Structure 1
């Protein structure tokens, strides 16, 4: 089917005729026997391209790829023309197997699969160039190869930002030179001597922006996911393949929050290809919790976990090992989404560290608990002695703990580089909803036991989070699919892209977009699996 009409003006006859032709084509071919639409790269009974179509000696979808680049990612015609040229020009005169574009894509696939460095890949390109005929068009460096693929990139936008993060300089603020909130300048200010006769006057000119946001538009990336058959299949896994028995949580689709959205927006929920985005945050406490501000450690800590225990639990009656008093309070009522929003609408972020030192022990003395661990003056008040705590390790104990952690094995994206302590057969990503109550109570007990031995400074918001994890599972599904750790680990990958210390954000974004383009292109090559 001819698709050139898609690029025509919408008021033209060519566009009108193309729409009518497409509608007729859809009525005849768009659905399989089950009534399912199959033309968003989902695999169906109708092939997406003619199986006899061969590009550069391959049964590859080069024309489809360039068409999709033109529709979704690139708005400049010369880029499409350049891609088309690279897709048609032979790698060397007489070559019927590879074009310049397919050769670069295949080689980059090997680079990504085997983890080759840019330096080694450049050396390989230079060696292959010497081996081929003299008139070959193979790039001779990683830089030149990426220039070819970067044309398929989904792009980014550079948006100027207030140095204090009050506004983005776009829309109604696009023409301003100062932030209307804090009056900070948008640009670096350069002063130089005026060229007038006196030579004393100074002239101020605008320099580079003080702060820039590198924005990667999300819509083209969604289109890229659906353009790849493998990824498109994953996007509807929760409808097509997931087991739904009502007892186990396997996916966020089993959670209460997902089902609530389906009820609120039934038309949206009935389409399996519709996307739902989760907000990933870190360092925010959206819970109705009791906190204590440490005077010496200058930290906000969260104690009093006995409130979450059963009314007659024996820990509630203990005094000395906790704060010196029995616990009669009850767990706070969970907040609604509206109440959480009102609490976090204006947030001040405070950073700090937790260590067992003199300030931690002074906080214990200030609170009047665990007298044995209070600082003790010795040698006539010249030295301060700190009694060893239960969590203070000897060198042998530290070695034993490190050896244990080195051998831990956990689910993917749970943590970094911990192996072999837990057998894979013992791990289960499917959650039995009937065991959640028991798991929740066990978490309360563990936190109370930690309070018996660790200083208050240990109980920051991340430790207190254990109280709320089970409720989070009930509402949102398995935690490993929605928490921050996988994204924090991916930040390490992005930091590795930074090769220019003076342009860190630029080097990260440029390399990420290049890798993104490579991954997108591989979905159109036969015999090449796209990277997950």
Structure 2
């Protein structure tokens, strides 16, 4: 399957074309060569139907494909997306689809990565991965459930033109929804018509913008609040403040002048209904994908009626897509990482700090918190110490606390290596921020900050901890939906407006999405990020990274399917866990046996005479 420079797919009726019909760009790198012609781009597509057929053709996997039908919770706890409101409303709207438990529900994840590792070469390749939500919660996010469907080539990100690359997948999803395909169930030995539906997408915020068509930049960057996104212009940036709008009309904070020097009289943003969203999309002009001479070099400005829409997403071609309650998940992994990074940077006053001279100038412009305004003396500008930042002494104590943390094996990174000069923390990964936000920060800030500030940070950490739990209580989640408004308002009373970027604002919508989609850990990017690390390991030929990944993936998938039928051998289906104990051997006496296994290389240590006597 070939794709030209102008992002035009040469497939089906266009398979024999030699030039792009939009800009007349050649399909080939050198169209005049006498040797084998090389295409401008190669899009690798792995058909979905054959992989789904494979799941029902094995007696080892076909039983798991109907778990969602018998595994629904009855105690009010959400343990699986089937317990979420979005799944249940989908079943009500499409009862013919829901009555066949063997019909497949899919989730789509897309993100870019550099296949060359830490090399300085700039390259962005985009795999599109699907996972099945029919299976139990302990299998949905496992590598064995992932299906690589598209391998979008680099070297540049497809950005909003990703819809052109998604064309073969969407066409197959249409067939699977309307007509279905004949499948043989290995467990019951019957033939049935299987249909499939895409429930939602999982991606970071830039990819969210590319797939949904709603831009994540500007005053209306929030896709949930839509046109009523609470935002304002501060010094050289947009701050997403004004969360008092979501409080009740008679709340005392609405009349307070401590937030921005004004009272809040606006109503909460109206929920974006599917009917209103479709009405907004109808006003969009037809945009030709790619870059071609007719566009020129000038970026087209959106008119007011377009709001933040950049395109009409290709997913709306699916009959059911516009009726879904949750189409694109807000990835809590990146939200938590960015929020924790801002908190930590402001606490330590490092290069990631949001407490800058411009942020202090914003406070002066709003006429609030006079004790934090910049002071000038002898043509020099001084920035008073803020109560939400550590003093130099407290900064050292906090870093020593982080340096002394010891985590269980495989739980996280060694934080000892992340502390620099006992005064800064650097080199943290997304999962490190996850541990820091939920486990370490609530403990570390107490004793160094004022009570009202430390309590606000602890409340925010507790909220993330509740949302990331393996099971969610519907009552507690609805309660968290109200508490998150107060938490953000408390933070607005503490931090300057520059602290509140779009990532901090998106925290407001996380409890609502948990009610719709169920447990967060089945809708975040952590397992897909680990899977992309595996895809990166397939690269053997640096000149052909996409081809290397395609060959490695096909070979691995074939071996995985065959390993289901191998007995007496260790495979990815019966491999012991990382921390599984070795057990007791029956050939040895119990007193000479160990129930544990070593986790490091064996090292013989000679005991001194004094040590021997002390052990006696």
When residues 227 and 257 of structure 1 are mapped into structure 2, their CA distance, relative to the original with a 3 A threshold, is: same
Decide which of 48, 57, 65 is 1:218's aligned counterpart.
Answer: 48
Cα deviation, 1:429-482, whole Å, max 9, x if unaligned, reads 222222233211111111112222334343333322222222212222222222
CA distance in 1, matches of 2:242, 2:75: 35
Q: Do residues 161 (structure 1) and 16 (structure 2) align?
A: no
Match of 1:416 in 2: 431
Partner of 1:328: 265
Say yes or no: does 1:520 pair with 2:457.
no
Partners of 2:204 and 2:95 lie apart in 1 by: 31
Task: Name the CA distance, whole Å, in 1 between partners of 2:377 and 2:42.
Answer: 55
Q: Which moved more, 1:437-446 or 1:478-487?
A: 478-487
Mean alpha-carbon deviation: is it higher for 394-403 or for 215-224?
A: 394-403
Match of 1:438 in 2: 479
Could you state the TM-score of these two structures normalised by the residue count of structure 2? 0.49
* Structure 1 residues 250 and 489, CA gap change in structure 2 (3 angstroms): same
**1:258 to partner: Cα distance:** 1.6
Per-residue deviation, 1:225: 2.4
* Residues 347 and 479 of structure 1: CA distance in aligned 2, closer, same or farther (over 3 Å): farther
Q: Cα gap change, 1:163/1:471 in structure 2, threshold over 3 Å: closer, same or farther?
A: same
CA contact (8 A) 1:405 1:419 kept: no
Pairing 1:296-335 to 2, within 5 Å after superposition: 297-298=236-237, 300-320=238-258, 322-335=259-272
Q: How much is the aligned-residue C-alpha RMSD, in angstroms? A: 4.3
Determine whether 1:490 maps to 2:320.
Answer: no
C-alpha distance 305-246 of structure 1, shift in aligned 2 (>3 A)? same
Task: Name which one, 1 or 2, has greater alpha-carbon Rg.
Answer: 1
Q: In structure 1, what is the equivalent of residue 500 of structure 2?
A: 459
2:106 is paired with a residue whose SS is coil
Q: Which residue of 2 aligns with 1:252?
A: 81
Secondary structure of 1:434's counterpart equals helix
Structure 1 equivalent of residue 572 of structure 2: 531
1:88-114 superposed Cα distances (whole Å, 9 cap, x missing partner)? xxxxxxxxxxxxxxxxxxxxxxxxxxx
Separation in 2, partners of 1:163, 1:302? 38
Which residue of structure 1 lines up, in the alignment, with residue 204 of structure 2? Answer: 282
Separation of aligned partners in 1, 2:556 and 2:507: 37
SS in 2 for 1:232: coil
Q: Which runs of 5+ in 2 are unaligned?
A: 108-199, 209-221, 282-306, 314-337, 343-351, 413-428, 441-464, 574-616
Q: Distance in 2 between matches of 1:168 and 1:292?
A: 39
User: Counterpart of 1:292?
Assistant: 231
Residue 271 of structure 1, aligned match among 82, 97, 100:
100
Determine whether 1:502 maps to 2:550: no
Which residue in the other structure is 1:346 paired with? Answer: 310
> Which whole-Å CA distance do the structure 2 matches of 1:365 and 1:177 have between them?
62
How many Å apart are 1:313 and its aligned residue? 3.0
Pairwise CA distance, 1:249: 1.8
Q: Residues 478 and 305 of structure 1: is their aligned pair in 2 closer, same or farther, counting only changes over 3 Å?
A: same
Q: Is the 8 A contact 2:478 2:515 kept in 1?
A: no
Structure 2 CA distance for partners of 1:408 and 1:348, relative to 1, 3 Å: farther
3-state SS of 1:276 partner: strand
Quote the offset at 1:287 in angstroms: 0.9
Partner-residue secondary structure (3-state), 1:277: strand
Cα distance change of structure 1 residues 419 and 368 upon mapping to structure 2, 3 Å threshold: closer
Contact 1:262 1:269 in 2 (8 A): yes
Aligned-partner Cα distance in 2 for 1:409–1:326:
51
Aligned partners of 1:331, 1:318: CA distance in 2, in Å? 17
Shift of 1:389: 4.2
Contact 1:407 1:419 in 2 (8 A): no
Asked if 1:227 is matched to 2:57, the reply is yes
C-alpha change, 1:295 and 1:307, in structure 2 (3 Å) is closer
Matched-pair contact (CA < 8 Å) for 1:161–1:212: yes
Q: Which residue of the partner structure matches residue 470 of structure 2?
A: 429
Shift of 1:271: 1.5
The structure carrying a bigger strand percent of its residues is: 2
CA distance in 2, matches of 1:317, 1:398: 37
Q: What is the 5 A alignment of 1:137-176?
A: 159-163=1-5, 166-176=7-17
Per the TM alignment, residue 388 of structure 1 is displaced from its structure 2 partner at its CA by 4.3
1: CA distance, partners of 2:236 / 2:66: 49
Map of 1:2-41 to 2, 5 A cutoff?
A: none
| Farther off after superposition, 359-368 or 432-441 | 359-368
Residue 97 of structure 2 contacts residue 103 of structure 2 at CA under 8 Å; is this kept in 1?
yes
Alignment check: 8 A CA contact 2:28 2:38 kept: yes
Could you say what secondary structure the match of 1:515 adopts?
helix
Partner of 1:450: 491
Q: TM-score, normalised by structure 1?
A: 0.55
Give, in whole Å, the separation in 2 of the partners of 1:500 and 1:509: 12
Aligned to 1:236: 66
Change over 3 Å in CA distance of 1:373–1:484 after alignment to 2: farther
493 and 459 in structure 1: CA distance in 2 versus 1, 3 angstrom threshold: farther
Deviation digits for residues 396-439 of structure 1, max 9, x if unmatched? 25515745987599999x9635669869x998522222223321
Distance, in Å, in 2 between the alignment partners of 1:225 and 1:345 is 38
Aligned to 1:399: 399
What CA distance in whole angstroms lies between the structure 2 residues aligned with 1:369 and 1:208?
Answer: 63
Q: What CA distance in whole angstroms lies between the structure 2 residues aligned with 1:234 and 1:209? A: 42
Q: Counterpart in 1 of 2:379?
A: 380
